[in-house]
Structures are given as C-alpha cells and as structure tokens.
Amino acid sequence: MATIYDVAKAAGVSPKTVSRVMNGDAPVNVRTRELVEATMDSLGYVPSSAARAMRSQRTRLVGLVTGAISGSQAAGGATGLPDLQIVQGIQRTLAESGMTLLVSDTSEPGGVPQLVRTLREHRVEGLFYVASHHQRIELPDGARAARMVLVNGFDDAGTPCVLPDDTEGQWALTAALIARGHRRIGFLTLPAALVAQGLRLEGYARALAEAGIAYDPALVVETSHSGAAQEREVLQAAIEGMLALEEPPTVLCCGNDRLAVAVYGILRAREVKVPEGMSVAGYDDYRVISETLYPQLTTMELPYGRMGEAAARLMLGELRGKKPAAIGARVLVEGELRWRDSVTPGPAAVA
C-alpha cells in the first residue's frame, strides 16, 4: 500500500508538499498540485481520514439513527419508505458541505443506545434521530449526543427538532377546497392517539371559521388503526352516515393517502363516481398512491425531503460554530398542495 513518502518520491516533491495538496492548508502552485494528484492516482494512494481527524479533531462524520429501513413499515406499510426521503434530504445537504453521513437502522427502540455508542466510537460530530411519524419521542438512557437533532419527532427535554407543519398543511388544503366552492367538507381523520390528528383538526377548524362556515361534528369521523377489516368498517359506516345527512358533504378529506384508496373503493361500490359524485382529497402525497389512483389524488404533501434538508442545515449551523439551537427549538416545514383530478369545483364555485 502506497504511503505519502512513496507519493513524494515518485512526484519529486517533499512529503510536506503532498500533505499541503491533500489538506489544502497552504498554497501550492497549480502545476505541482496537478502532478501530486496524478501521482496519487497512479499509485492508488488513499489519504488516511483517521490520521487527519486525529490532527484536526474533526472527523466530518455525522451519525443518524432511524427505523425507516428495517422496520415493519418499510415492508410496504403506510410509512417507512417515504421516510427515507428524510434521510436522503439530510445526506444530500451534508454532502454539499463535505460531510459524510453514517446511517444506523433499528426497528427496536431498545437497540438505539448501542447504535449511538457505536457511532460515538467513530467520533461522529453530531447525531440525527429520525422517527417514523410525527410523534413524541422518549429516547432511552445512553441514546443522546452533545449535538443532536430530532426529525419527525420531539421530546420533553427540548432537543432541537424538525417537524412537518400539520396545522398549516390541513388549513391550506381545507382553505383551497373552500376557495373552489366546497362548503360541506367531510374529514376522515387519523386516530386520536397520533399527534398529527389534533394539529390537523385545528387547521381544518380554522379554515372553516375564517370562511364563516360552522363546524359540523357530523362531518368529522376518526378512523381506526386496530386492523384493516375494522378500519374499513369504520370508513364505510362514516361515509354512509355522511351521505345520509340532509346536507351531505361534497368532498371527503382523508387523514392520509392510504385511507383515500379505501374511500375510492367504498364509493365505487356505492356507484358514486370520483370526482363527479364525490370529490376526494388525501394527505402525504405518497406518490405510489397519489399518482396511480384513477383519478389521480389531490393531496397535501408531507415534506420529508425538505425536513431532512432543514435538519441538516440546523446541524451544520452548530458544526460551523454558529450559535447552538436553543433548547426547545422547533423548525416547522410546510408541505405543498398537489392539485390533481380527484376534486371538482363545489356548488358554491363562482362561474
């Protein structure tokens, strides 16, 4: 294996000059730099990042712990694979700054401390923890680092975090439906146990209030996570109940795109066409669903990629010596409304 001394001898320069070319810490004329770089390539010389880290006290490594890869959701559930967009956003932004991301995956919270210890042994300069969905996190003992950013989750300790702006997302979607003439807006919500449910209900109610539309509890039904069969029964009963109202809804908002798939099927079984007989909107913009349903689904994006980028920028700010993020700091990232063919203008639309 070639050494720095082999490179220096072959290039006819001093080892100090080779070091300067590798580290960029002192001026070297262009011709000499090109000669040294060409010699390193010809000899197959690879600089030791470990040795440079010992000298500079910087490894340029950042760790990340997630369950998005090997968790049960990654096998095709409602979450999992889309969450990888968070990891991609982090990696893309760090790479632009010359940082390397070390990803460790676990499907069990109990394994997090060991993964964190391993990452710290590799002298990572910071650590991300990426949750599978918007939730409160209770990290086990030993699962923290001096520089840490939570993504898609928050904790009671006030660790800096990056979250989707669920309230503004549902407000924007509901306001857009109102602007297109819909006044009776059914809302098939996520289960109450999920943090996003309360936030989105807040956005939904605010959009109605701002438009002078009364909140009707008959148009809001919580869905269930207790099993696919039971969930379908709940959805079917909810839709039948809404359609039987004296003033039925003209559009159904679904807590996520997966629910929209079931809603399409239930409406089709009742010979209600989408969007002619009932408009349907989702949430997530899980494009495997939203772009393959017919008609394609209008939905609010969960901005996973931009959340990852925001988390990386937050981490880079600390690594570059800027003022550390304050305890309790939360960065909210807004999604974009994806308007497709599943929503038609409502009765109150202006001609």
Dist. CA 105–CA 114, nearest whole Å = 11
Q: Please, is 128 exposed, middle or buried when counting C-beta atoms within 10 Å of its C-beta (0-12, 13-18, 19+)?
A: buried
* Residue 50 domain flag: no
pLDDT at residue 58 in the model: 64
| Same structural domain, 155 and 266 | no
What CATH number did the domain enclosing 9 receive? Answer: 1.10.260.40
Give the number of other Cβ atoms within 10 Å of residue 309's Cβ. Answer: 22
Check whether residue 194 and residue 286 sit in a common domain: yes
Q: Are residues 153 and 171 in the same domain?
A: no
Tell me: pLDDT of 56 over 90.
no
Name residues whose C-beta falls within 8 Å of residue 324's C-beta, 6 or more positions apart in sequence. Answer: 147, 318
Q: Given this model, what pLDDT does residue 57 score?
A: 53
Residue with tokens 């939203």: 290
Considering only residues 77 and 216, tell me which one the structure prediction assigns the higher pLDDT: 216
Are 267 and 151 in the same domain?
no
Interval 225-263: pLDDT, tens: 666 778 888 899 999 999 999 999 999 999 999 999 999
Among 138-142, 145-149, 207-211, 328-332, name the most confident range. 207-211
Q: Please, are residues 315 and 149 in contact by the beta-carbon 8 Å criterion?
A: yes
Same domain, 174 and 277: yes
pLDDT at 80: 47
Q: What pTM was computed for the model? A: 0.81
Q: Name the H helices within the chain.
A: 4-11, 15-23, 30-43, 49-56, 84-96, 112-121, 166-179, 195-210, 228-243, 257-269, 287-290, 304-319
pLDDT for the residue numbered 53: 47
Instruction: Answer yes or no: are the C-beta atoms of 134 and 164 closer than 8 Å.
Output: yes
Task: Give the pLDDT score at 107.
Answer: 66
User: Is residue 79 scored above 60 in pLDDT?
Assistant: no
Query: Would you place residue 327 in the very low, low, confident or very high pLDDT band (cuts 50, 70, 90)?
Result: low
Interval 13-17 mean pLDDT: 89
Q: How confident is the model at residue 54 (pLDDT cuts 50, 70, 90)?
A: very low
> Over 80: is that where the pLDDT of 33 sits?
yes
Residue 153 confidence (pLDDT): 94
Tokens of 218: 């008959």
**Is residue 88 assigned to a domain?**
yes
State residue 123's pLDDT score. Answer: 83
Average pLDDT score over residue span 323-330: 70
pLDDT of residue 29: 87
pLDDT of residue 183: 97
27 or 188, greater pLDDT: 188
228 and 291 share a domain?
A: yes
* C-alpha–C-alpha distance, residues 316 and 92, integer Å: 13
Per-residue pLDDT at 217: 97
What per-residue string of b and e applies to 10-35 under the rule 16 or more CB within 10 Å gives b?
A: bbebeeebbbbbbeeeeebeeebeeb
- Is residue 351 domain-resident? no
Q: What is the pLDDT of residue 75?
A: 39
Does an H or E element contain 186, and which?
A: strand 185-189
pLDDT of residue 91: 94
Residues 73 and 173 in one domain: no
The pLDDT of residue 99 is above 50: yes
Give me the pLDDT at residue 83, please: 80
Residue at 26 is within a domain: yes
| Residue 299 phi, psi (nearest 5) | -160, 155
Domain region containing 95: 61-165+304-333
pLDDT at 59: 75
Residue 350 lies in a domain: no
Q: What confidence tens digit (pLDDT) does each residue in 332-348 have? A: 999 999 999 999 999 98
Overall number of domains in the chain? 3
Listed residue (15, 19, 10) closest to 38, CA to CA = 10
Least confident of 3-12, 18-27, 69-78, 249-258: 69-78
Stretch 80-98: mean pLDDT: 86
Highest mean pLDDT among 30-44, 88-102, 103-117, 129-143: 88-102
Q: Categorize the per-residue pLDDT at 166 as very low, low, confident or very high, splitting at 50, 70 and 90.
A: very high
- pLDDT of 351 > 60? The answer is no
Residue 348 in any domain: the answer is no
User: Does a structural domain hold residue 341?
Assistant: no
Q: Looking at residue 55, what is its pLDDT?
A: 47
Burial class (CB in 10 A: 0-12, 13-18, 19+), 206: middle
281, 184: one domain: yes
Same-domain status, 103 and 146 = yes
Q: What is the pLDDT of residues 287-304, one digit of tens each?
A: 999 999 999 999 999 999
